[in-house]
Amino acid sequence: MEVYIEDLVDYCVMHNWYDPAKECDEEKWTKPDKGMACLQASLSPAARSIYKYSLGLAEENQKKPHLVVAALKEFYFVTTATGIPRDCITDAHVSAYCYAPSVSSKNFC
């Protein structure tokens, strides 16, 4: 997912839809509608389903690339870092992993 997001940002920089020089993540997306169109078009069918149904974003926030990218990063980080299926992960799993990364994923369940 990290490589995908880097590629998306690079593509958007080339088209002046993203300005990495700005401080705030929201302000970096100079053309959020174009960034979102690119993001949606390039997602795999599985990732598109996650985007629509599993990120927990309100409908208006699904149109904000900085929120969608952050949610996708969190979703895929937690799933791959813990080895626990995403639908089984709770806030306790996230906290345990983030504050004690040496803990084995077997100890989560």
The reply to whether the predicted model has a pTM over 0.85 is no
Rg of the Cα trace of the chain?
15
Cβ(68)–Cβ(29) under 8 Å?
no
Query: Rounded CA gap, 28 and 6, in Å?
Result: 14
What local confidence, expressed as pLDDT, does residue 79 receive? 54
Local confidence pLDDT in tens for the 109 residues of the chain: 778 888 989 999 999 999 999 999 899 999 999 999 998 888 888 878 887 887 888 889 888 999 988 888 888 776 555 555 555 545 454 444 444 444 444 433 3
| DSSP states of 63-79 | G-HHHHHHHHHHHHHHH
Whole-number pLDDT of residue 31: 95
